[in-house]
Amino acid sequence: MRDDEIFPEDARRAAGYQLRKVQRGDDPDDWKPFDDVGAGTKETRIKDLSTQRYKDMMLTRNKK
């Protein structure tokens, strides 16, 4: 099975948009902390056009 069959293009695009928000220092639209993985990890929930739901995890580190 190819990656694009598991994580469709519209979901990947939505995840990329949320990642860009995090890179700019903003919070994703739909997320919760996931400190079990590591401090600063954000579980981002992604919903694609076919109403499938995916979860993406991002580990962030703030520069001070």
Position 51 scores a pLDDT of: 67
Q: Please state the rounded mean pLDDT for residues 41-46.
A: 82
Distance of CA 64 to the CA centre of its chain: 23
Phi and psi for 59 in degrees, rounded to 5? -100, 120
d(CA 52, CA 30) in angstroms, rounded, equals 15
Provide the pairing of β-strand 31-33 with 41-47. antiparallel
Alpha-carbon distances, residue 7 vs 18, 27, 41, 56, 58 (angstroms): 15, 22, 21, 11, 16
Position 35 scores a pLDDT of: 82
| pLDDT tier at 61, thresholds 50, 70, 90 | low
pLDDT in tens, 11-39: 888 888 988 998 888 888 888 888 887 78
Q: Is the pLDDT of residue 55 over 70?
A: no
Q: Which of 32-36, 40-44, 47-51 has the lowest mean pLDDT?
A: 47-51
